[in-house]
Amino acid sequence: MDEHRWRLGDRVALVTGASTGLGARFARVLHEAGAHVVVTARRRELLEELARDCGDRIEAIAGDITSAEHREALVELLATFGRLDVLVNNAGVCDDGPIEEQSLDELRHVIDVNLLSALDICRLAAPLLFNAQGASVVNIASIYGVVASRSPMAAYNATKGALVNLTRELAAQWGGRGVRVNALAPGYFPSELTGFLADPAFAQSIREHTLLARTPDLAEIDGPLLFLATDASSYVTGQVLVVDGGWTAV
């Protein structure tokens, strides 16, 4: 096996929603694989802590991903490299409660963070992706982009499902340009969004609904992310890689 296919030496990556949880983990994984990583999120102090931990080859730019001006600033920074090799659209939030009890503003916020920001980043960064040799886009979807949830969160499910089909559409549009577009659909990993699986009843429900009958370790998302980001998946595009311990298999 050619181990260089799993490396990202001298490549440029952007990870959105990188202040904590899966986003911060993704940034560390890409950095350890050799990439120069640009990270963004709202919480500047957490981004700066991440940058200190990683050392060189990482740049943090704090801001609100729902801001068009911030998205433009991100792409302007990336333009100084002349290309973008890996784009991880990870920024996401979750809604809660029956849709009839939600406000339009609540629904719009989830759509802005989870879907519109990814659409616009792809639009703005397209020329930089085309400039790269075999760029990879990884849209972070969810198991609830492929099946319905047991909890009422219509906007989250709708946006994650939309990300799955955006993945297919951009794979079709950009395949001839050498850009691969795939989605990663995690199950319940320990993160801020899942309360780090600290609730015993919640953790037990995961064990009961997964074929592997256990909760995952955060490190178990590393390989799937690295596979999609590197040349290890050079003939894979338009696909959804579900990492859920078998939750969606039955």
Mean pLDDT of the chain: 95
For the stretch 94-127, pLDDT in tens is: 998 999 999 999 999 999 999 999 999 999 999 9
**pTM for this model (two decimals):** 0.95
pLDDT at 1 over 70: no
Confidence band, pLDDT 50/70/90 cuts, at residue 193? confident
Domains and CATH numbers, the chain: 3-239 (3.40.50.720)
For the stretch 142-180, pLDDT in tens is: 999 999 987 899 999 999 999 999 999 999 999 999 999
DSSP 204: H
Whose tokens are 């256990």? That residue is 214
Instruction: At 181, list the tokens.
Output: 């577009």
The residue length of the chain stands at: 250
pLDDT at 231 over 80: yes
Higher-scoring residue by pLDDT: 198, 25: 25
Catalytic residue among 144, 156, 188, 235, which? Answer: 156
- From the number of C-beta atoms within 10 Å of its C-beta (0-12, 13-18, 19+), residue 127 rates as exposed
Backbone angles phi, psi at 28, to 5 degrees: -65, -40
144 is annotated as an active-site residue: no
Instruction: At 116, list the tokens.
Output: 């519109």
Instruction: At 170, list the tokens.
Output: 């951009």
For the stretch 37-54, pLDDT in tens is: 999 999 999 999 999 999
Beta strands in the chain (DSSP E): 12-16, 36-40, 58-60, 86-89, 136-140, 180-186, 240-243
Percent residues over pLDDT 70 in the chain: 99
Confidence band, pLDDT 50/70/90 cuts, at residue 68? very high
